[in-house]
Amino acid sequence: MTEPLLSVRDLRVEFPTRRGTLTALDGVSFDIMPGEVLGMVGESGAGKSLTGAAIIGLLEPPGRIAGGEIRLRGERIDTLAPDAMRKVRGKRIGMVFQDPLTSLNPLYTVAQQITETIRTHADVSEAEARQRAIALLDRVGIPAAARRIDDYPHHFSGGMRQRVVIALALCAEPELVIADEPTTALDVSVQAQIIDLIKEICAERGAAVMLITHDMGVIAETADRVAVLYAGRLAEIGPVKDVILNAEHPYTRGLMGSIPTLTQESDRLVQIPGAMPRLTAIPRGCAFNPRCGQAFERCRQDRPDPVNRPGNRQVACWLHAPEVTHG
Amino acid sequence: MNRLARAWDSDIAWSFRHSPVAIVAAVVALLIILSAVLAPWIAPHDPFNPASLNLMDGFTPPMEPNQFTGNVYWLGTDNQGRDIFSAILYGARISLFVGFSAVIFAMVLGISIGLLAAWRGGWVDSLLMRIADVQLSFPSILIALLIFGIARGVIPPAYREEMAIWVLIVAIGLSDWVQFARVVRGAALVEKSKEYVQAARLVGAHPARIVLTHILPNVMGPVLVIATIGLALAIIAEATLSFLGVGVPPTQPSLGTLIRIGQGFLFSGEWWIILFPSIALLALALSVNLLGDWLRDALNPRLK
Amino acid sequence: MIAYVLRRIVQSVLVMLVVALVSFSLFRFVGDPVATMMGQEASQADREALRDRLGLNDPVIVQFAGFIARAAQGDFGISYRLQQPVMELILSRLPATLELALISGTLAFVLGVGFGVYTALNRRGWLSGAIMTVSLIGVSLPTFLIGVLLIWVFAVELQWLPSFGRGDTVDVGPWRTGLLTQSGRASIVLPAITLGLYQMTLIMRLVRAEMLEVLRSDYIKFARARGLSDRAVHFGHALKNTLVPVITITGLQLGSIIAFAIITETVFQWPGVGALFINSVQFVDIPVMAAYLMLIALIFVVINLVVDLLYYAVDPRLRVDRAAARH
Amino acid sequence: MTISFRKTASRLMLSAALVGIGLTAASAETLRWARVGDALTLDPHSANEGPTSTLLHHIYETLVRRNTDGSLAPRLATEWFIHPDDPTVWVFKLREGVKFHDGADFTAEDVVASVTRVTSETSDFKGLHTAVAGAEAVDDYTVHIKMSGPSPLYVQNLTNFFIMDKGWIEANGVEAPQDFKAGEEKFTVRNTNGTGPYTLVERDPEVRTVLAVNPNHWDAAPQVTEIIYTPIKEAATRVAALLSGEVDFVQDVPVQDIERLMATPGIAVSTGAENRTIFFSYDMNSDSLISLPGDNPFKKPQVREAMALALDRDAIRQVVMRGQSVPGAQNVPPFVNGYDPALDAYSAPDYERAKALMAEAGYPDGFSVDLNCPNDRYINDEAICQAFVGMLGRIGIKANLVSQSRTIHFPAIQNGQVDFYLLGWGVPTFDSQYVFDFLVHSPVDGRGGWNGSRYYNTELDAKIASLATETDLEKRNATIAEIWKTIQEDRVFLMVHNQLLAYAAKDNINIAVHPENQPSMTTVTFK
């Protein structure tokens, strides 16, 4: 078995607030293999974006990593000094944000922003950086890239801007790209194109992708594996087909109900009654137990940890606890 | 009781309890405001009643007996024999009255204009914002001076003494409304486009009702911040105008007027005439400003 | 673009005329110039004759029309007080005021931006708190008091700096400058501090607030995620975006610096237009007052126009949707 | 425009001049002189205003000058008398060998031209020369000034009458003083050509004016060889400039700073009486006051007496004026003809008696009235009013203080729009007639222009009118005494005090206080 590109173990992210410390992520563990596309799903507030921010070391204060570890090719990156971490960002892990309209600095041309980033990570001349930038823009599908590179962000449409953002994320050839809801803010018509572009271009460069979305449809089409987050905890993780066809966690099964709507934005899961608890009021036991149709006493008492399941899967649910299945 | 507990537990209250600066500022401001309001009951003398003053008490140093009358005053007396302590209390009363009234005047005017501009849009908006532009860049001191000029011409001399304070209020208020108008207009434009307001419009709610129930509560935060800072500004503006000789009459001195009077004695050794009113003004303006600062940060959820 | 500028200029001229008319009609309330122009021996008949000669017995609107007609030819008449052509008087005083305004404006801008950026970047530091609190003292005391206190400390007690005037001046063409001599430079220090303190506090607070806002924006997050250095993020990206609104407001403040110079110039006997104006008010020197107010209106118009154009130059977005945004 | 280093150039010229003088004068001394305001103009006939005349006395000269005791002394005129054959003609014998700064000789023609100029329509001094019918040069050094009637005191009006050069007037087309309507500046506003002890080196209005000693002056050379005159408006700044050593001599010292300055090593303060009285007056004629419609308590003699009894002059002197005033009851300075110490004696306040008088007059509960006061004209004018408001309060009179700029206050008095006011009055002629003409005579025949008390006494008017033409001085003085007696009996004025002047300077400088506040730097000596 090859060494994972990214390995997250028992990640715990806390927010100290006046009402005590909130645990936003708790015991999250997963791996991403080189070249793999990992989908990460969950409702708003489940901790998807936080996971991405924690990996790249950009948690907003007062949020902090309170436990666990993050390794990139075996090297711990959660404890790196700010300067060292800066060399990881962009260079080894690229990031694509949700809203291309606000992700680009409106006061600089695309050329300025790309060449600045290229030259931050590679010792190349301005002209060389510009050539690379044009090639990259060309690759991400900006027509007449050599001419448009000197335009300002507001000259581009939303879809085009997201292409520029992708080019920026990829311009230092990172090994991993974290795409945080890259299509949410876009027109439905271009969403698929962008997803395809990310997948294609990363495959081409051998970069792994961590695709954060609440859209199971996108995951189904794109990801190799999928991780399901619920209330800051990992509910289930496994190969995407298996999880979709045979979800083991009741929550995942509920999520699957949203697939038929595919392209529609459906943050709410109509199949599951109630809403995800706030971080301030996570119930005892399994966080999902109040909404779970199959909950039993133990679910209300003890918190289930993820357990390995056949087929390279893990699930955190008492229904699949060793005692239950075996005895 | 429940409501009280909720208020105590609210974000604002929590942020307040955990900001020593805000607490100190609030205590100081409250103390000054309270003693100003209660001046007639706690001040040992009535500095606004000329008949009660004895000129021979003039220039008495703090805590020392006057060389002619033997009277002792905590903070000394000014050139007219006014007890500085009482004068500060009464002066703060005038300053605060002018400040609060000017800010309320500016607030009402600014909010109305801002809402009107946002709600009507089109040329009304353009015109009002153009006026605001002019007003904003035309120096407020000159505006106040000009308003004083008008008042002096229009108001008969017999009423001037009573009118001076109102003229000050209008002058300061008129030069301050733009800030309110801009913030309210901006916020109202944002709120206006939001779904709930659109929905309310669709179901035919009266515009005034929508403004009162939906838009106004949402802009109260920034308005409150501007009002607080504006209060401090108004108090200082009153002092500045009185330095230029267009303030309240010297028989009813405000804090600013006391400082102007005291300034003449800076080199002559009667330091207490300028020092104590200045400290009072500084304490008042500084605490109000600090409160405004704190409020701005506390009301901005993104800055938590 | 040209149409836009033209329209602004026409609007501005209208504004100037309105300002002029309003202020002109107020002069008769300021007092009677004849009272100060004639000795106490003058008879009532002499006074009437002088009033007639000055045209003060004409209706205000007639006086105003005459004033505008002459002003359009650059003739503002003769000062009642100093018996010199008003235009010449104001032009000879303007350099002093502009030098003072420029120096204190620059001081306020540089320190304001510096402190603003520092306090925004180190929001929770004790030094930031100290800067924020101390700067408030600057706006919590009236300008005249600060001026007198500075004179007391630095001129009387320490005798480091002059207490009044401009020191030695040098004529460079029509411009009389104090910046080329040692005593001139020493003389400008205290007035510039007095005048600039208030503006510095305003700018500092504005920069801090804007910067905090910008630092939270997506494009800053994205810039960090690309591994750009703190330096590039803070000073390349955040500062530039912060300065756009700051420049606007600072520009508009220049007008009020010139107005506040009235007080500073009075306290420091600074021979500028502000002191000229205050002396004229006390003497009811109508030609000078009218010309001064026209000058202020003109400065306002020019500043507004320049700020608009500057805005236009700094913010590329406006080059497209400027007109749409305004109207 | 070319680059011009005007200051440097003038410095060089000046130092060159100083080197020249150095041979004759013991040492070259510069005096840096600060006062509240600048001379408004350098035109000698354009502004009848104190600071303007003070500065001009250094550049231009008058026929006669006034000694500090009020008597007249020769200056450009060596002798003057009423023509023995014609009481309407004044004869002036002129000083010989005097030259203007540009080298022209001073002759009788120059005086004639100056008389013509000072009586022209745009002259601000023409009020002092209304009786002049014409002037004639009898010979090079004798001038006859013809009056429209006997004017025994006319020469008293000449202490601020500056003589200009006829040739220079004509060459520069400045036959008349500044006319504002013409819209162009007169050459004389910033250029000078006098006969005086100093010449103009640099003039930057309201910033600084530099004068250098005139080496060709007819009189003894003064010790001060260079004057740098700087107006400083703010009192605190002015005092600070002296304390920090940036100026040598401050002319307008706030009374409260005198003590501090006296106590400061290296600084000396000298004080002296000024030719100016400060008094209250009231409308004692109208039936209805503006601020008290339907009534006029000031018509009642008892009320006027009660107010006099309420005024605590000593307290005002002690506290408001810091001892820098001479309280009195007669509204005329002590060195003016007609002053009577008996009339000037004042009584201590008596509030009991005042209240009784108020009750007697029908105002046991007092009344309410506006008190108009200037706030930028006299020493502590507003504070004096404020103090009196308090004193009046003790006898039930509620005075509402309306304190305003002199530009509003003065016209209001002249136009009869005030009920009760404070005013100050100087007597440049040093004769009581000046007071009567403006303040007491009823407002007819061009007199009574400042009679804000609306005092109307035909009998007295006749006596006042007779003073102008009465040549028998003894008889005239008797009439003056009679008039004063009536004025005091009727309590036309409620006199407060005479102002004192205070000059502060470095203590190596001797400078005497001038009663008209017109110090001459020629009299300054250095220790």
Please give the CATH architecture assigned to the domain spanning C88-283: Orthogonal Bundle (1.10)
User: What is the predicted ipTM?
Assistant: 0.79
Whole-number Å distance between alpha carbons of D327 and D313: 6
A vs D contact (3+ beta-carbon pairs below 8 A): no
Neighbours of A326 (CB within 10 A): 6
Inspect the interface and report whether the beta carbons of A108 and C237 lie closer than 8 Å. Answer: yes
Q: Which pLDDT score is estimated for A194? A: 87
- Record the tokens describing residue B50, joined without a space: 């000329």
Length of chain C (residues): 327
Whole-number Å distance between alpha carbons of B114 and B178: 9
Q: Which chain C residue has its CA at the smallest distance from D407's CA?
A: C31
CA distance to B133, C11, C86, C116, C297, per residue, from C22 (Å):
17, 17, 20, 39, 12
Summary mean pLDDT of chain B? 81
Chain A partners within 8 Å of C242 (Cβ): none
User: What is the dihedral angle through the alpha carbons of C97, D192, D187, C94, rounded to the nearest 10 degrees?
Assistant: 0
DSSP label at residue D106: P
Q: Band of the pLDDT at B158, cuts 50, 70, 90? A: low
CA distance to B274, C205, C264, D332, per residue, from C195 (Å):
21, 17, 6, 46
For chain A, the chains sharing at least 3 beta-carbon pairs closer than 8 angstroms are C
Q: Is residue C104 within 8 Å of C195, Cβ to Cβ?
A: yes
In chain A, alpha helices (H): 48-56, 82-88, 100-103, 110-121, 126-139, 145-148, 158-170, 188-205, 216-222, 240-245, 250-256, 297-301, 322-326
Mutate to test the interface with B, among C24, C140, C144, C214 (most CBs of B within 10 A): C140
Q: Which of D240, D256, D370 sits opposite B157 (nearest CB)?
A: D370
Chain D partners within 8 Å of C169 (Cβ): 7
Q: Is residue D224 within 8 Å of C100, Cβ to Cβ?
A: no
Residue range D337-391, pLDDT digits in tens: 999 999 999 999 999 999 999 999 999 999 999 999 988 889 999 999 999 999 9
Summary mean pLDDT of chain C? 83
The partner residues of D278 in beta bridges, in order of sequence, read D424, D497
Residue range C87-103, pLDDT digits in tens: 889 999 999 999 999 89
Q: Which of B54, B58, B160 sits opposite D402 (nearest CB)?
A: B160
Q: Which pLDDT score is estimated for D227? A: 96
CA R_g for chain B: 23
Tell me: pLDDT of D13 over 60: no
Whole-number Å distance between alpha carbons of D49 and C82: 12
Chain C partners within 8 Å of A165 (Cβ): 222
Chain B partners within 8 Å of D243 (Cβ): 267
The partner residues of D308 in beta bridges, in order of sequence, read none
What type of residue is C269? Q
Mutate to test the interface with D, among B54, B161, B266, B267 (most CBs of D within 10 A): B267
Q: Cβ of B71 under 8 Å from any chain D Cβ? A: no
Distance from CA of B150 to the nearest CA of C (A): 6
Inspect the interface and report whether the beta carbons of B80 and D405 lie closer than 8 Å. Answer: no
Q: Say which residue, D86 or B264, is predicted with more confidence.
A: D86
- Domain membership of residue B180 (yes or no) is yes
- Domain membership of residue B62 (yes or no) is no
- Ramachandran area for residue D446 (φ above 0: left; ψ -120 to 50: alpha; else beta): left
Whole-number Å distance between alpha carbons of C111 and C116: 8
Q: Which of C34, C77, C165 sits opposite D183 (nearest CB)?
A: C77
Residue range D80-112, pLDDT digits in tens: 999 999 999 999 999 999 999 999 999 999 999
Q: Is residue D100 within 8 Å of D193, Cβ to Cβ?
A: yes
Neighbours of A265 (CB within 10 A): 12
Number of domains in chain B: 1
Q: Which chain B residue has its CA at the smallest distance from D403's CA?
A: B249
Tell me: pLDDT of C62 over 50: yes
- B286-290, C5-9, D111-115, D251-255: which is most confident: D111-115
Inspect the interface and report whether the beta carbons of C141 and B293 lie closer than 8 Å. Answer: no
- B289 lies in which domain range? 13-40+82-303
Distance from CA of C306 to the nearest CA of D (A): 27
Q: Cβ of C124 under 8 Å from any chain A Cβ? A: no
Q: Is residue C181 within 8 Å of C169, Cβ to Cβ?
A: yes
What type of residue is D178? Q
Mutate to test the interface with D, among C80, C83, C182 (most CBs of D within 10 A): C83
Mutate to test the interface with D, among B77, B79, B159, B163 (most CBs of D within 10 A): B79
Range scoring the smallest mean pLDDT among A4-13, A84-93, B45-54, D2-11: D2-11
Give one DSSP letter per residue of D124-145, joined into a string: TTGGGGTTEEEEEEEETTEEEE
Inspect the interface and report whether the beta carbons of C300 and B134 lie closer than 8 Å. Answer: yes
Exposed e or buried b for every residue in A197-221, given b needs 16+ CB within 10 A? bbbebbeeeebbbbbbbbbbbbbbe
Tell me: pLDDT of D465 over 80: yes
Q: Which of D243, D316, D370 sits opposite B55 (nearest CB)?
A: D316
Q: Cβ of B264 under 8 Å from any chain D Cβ? A: yes
* D154 three-state secondary structure: helix
Query: CA-based angle C9:C13:C19, to the nearest 5?
Result: 140
Q: Which of B79, B158, B268 sits opposite D259 (nearest CB)?
A: B268
Chain B partners within 8 Å of C256 (Cβ): 137, 139-141
Q: Which of A102, A165, A169 sits opposite C217 (nearest CB)?
A: A102
Give one DSSP letter per residue of D423-472, joined into a string: EEE--TTSBHHHHIIIIIS-S-TT--TT-TT----HHHHHHHHHHHH---
What type of residue is C251? G
- Domain membership of residue B153 (yes or no) is yes
Q: Cβ of B251 under 8 Å from any chain D Cβ? A: yes
Mutate to test the interface with B, among C145, C260, C265, C296 (most CBs of B within 10 A): C145
Neighbours of D520 (CB within 10 A): 18
Tell me: pLDDT of D6 over 70: no
Whole-number Å distance between alpha carbons of A74 and A78: 12
**Phi–psi pair at C312, nearest 5 degrees:** -60, -40
Inspect the interface and report whether the beta carbons of D237 and C268 lie closer than 8 Å. Answer: yes
Chain C partners within 8 Å of D154 (Cβ): none
Residue A123, classified by CB atoms within 10 Å of its CB into exposed (0-12), middle (13-18) or buried (19+), is exposed
- Record the tokens describing residue A307, joined without a space: 């357990």
Q: Say which residue, A114 or B268, is predicted with more confidence.
A: A114
Whole-number Å distance between alpha carbons of D285 and D492: 11
Place of tokens 């695309």: A110
In chain C, alpha helices (H): 2-30, 33-37, 44-54, 60-72, 86-121, 126-140, 143-150, 182-215, 218-225, 230-231, 239-268, 273-283, 286-314, 318-326
Whole-number Å distance between alpha carbons of C320 and C323: 8
Q: Which of D260, D319, D402 sits opposite B268 (nearest CB)?
A: D260
Q: Is residue A46 within 8 Å of A276, Cβ to Cβ?
A: yes
DSSP label at residue D47: -
For chain C, the chains sharing at least 3 beta-carbon pairs closer than 8 angstroms are A, B, D
Give the residue-averaged pLDDT of C60-79: 83
Q: Band of the pLDDT at D26, cuts 50, 70, 90? A: very low
DSSP label at residue B156: -
- Domain membership of residue B75 (yes or no) is no
Inspect the interface and report whether the beta carbons of B267 and D405 lie closer than 8 Å. Answer: no
Q: Is the dihedral of CA B49, B50, B52, B56 positive or negative?
A: positive
Whole-number Å distance between alpha carbons of D470 and B6: 95
Tell me: pLDDT of C156 over 70: yes
- Domain membership of residue B69 (yes or no) is no
- Domain membership of residue B215 (yes or no) is yes
Closest CA to D196 of D160, D156, D163: D163
Q: How many CB pairs under 8 A join B and D?
A: 90
Inspect the interface and report whether the beta carbons of B55 and D319 lie closer than 8 Å. Answer: yes
Q: Which CATH number characterizes residue B35's domain?
A: 1.10.3720.10
Q: Find how far residue D462's CA is from the centre of its chain.
A: 27
Whole-number Å distance between alpha carbons of B186 and B189: 5
Q: Which chain C residue has its CA at the smallest distance from A88's CA?
A: C227
* D90 three-state secondary structure: strand
DSSP label at residue D162: B
Mutate to test the interface with C, among D180, D260, D447 (most CBs of C within 10 A): D180
* D63 three-state secondary structure: coil
Give one DSSP letter per residue of B195-250, joined into a string: HHHHHHHHTT--HHHHIIIIIHHHHHHHHHHHHHHHHHHHHHHHHHHHHTT-SS-T
What type of residue is D415? N
Tens-binned pLDDT, residue by residue, of chain A (327 aa): 578 899 999 999 998 877 778 888 888 999 999 989 999 988 887 888 889 989 988 888 788 888 899 999 888 998 888 888 888 888 899 988 888 788 888 888 898 999 998 888 888 899 999 999 999 899 888 888 889 999 888 888 888 888 898 888 888 888 999 998 888 878 888 888 888 888 888 888 888 999 998 888 888 888 899 999 888 888 899 998 888 888 888 888 887 765 544 444 444 444 667 777 777 778 888 888 888 878 888 888 888 888 888 888 888 888 887 665 443
For chain D, the chains sharing at least 3 beta-carbon pairs closer than 8 angstroms are B, C
Q: Band of the pLDDT at D235, cuts 50, 70, 90? A: confident
Q: Which of D236, D259, D390 sits opposite B53 (nearest CB)?
A: D390
- For residue D475, give the H/E element and its range: helix D473-490
CA distance to A80, A136, D50, per residue, from A172 (Å):
20, 10, 82
Mutate to test the interface with D, among C40, C97, C145 (most CBs of D within 10 A): C40
* C79 three-state secondary structure: coil
Residue C202, classified by CB atoms within 10 Å of its CB into exposed (0-12), middle (13-18) or buried (19+), is buried
Q: Cβ of C289 under 8 Å from any chain D Cβ? A: no
- Domain membership of residue B31 (yes or no) is yes
Chain D partners within 8 Å of B250 (Cβ): 382, 386, 401, 403
Q: Cβ of B297 under 8 Å from any chain C Cβ? A: no
Q: Which chain D residue has its CA at the smallest distance from C81's CA?
A: D40
Q: Cβ of C314 under 8 Å from any chain A Cβ? A: yes
Q: Band of the pLDDT at C1, cuts 50, 70, 90? A: low
Q: Which chain C residue has its CA at the smallest distance from A55's CA?
A: C225
Whole-number Å distance between alpha carbons of D361 and A297: 103
Q: Which of A98, A120, A165 sits opposite C227 (nearest CB)?
A: A120
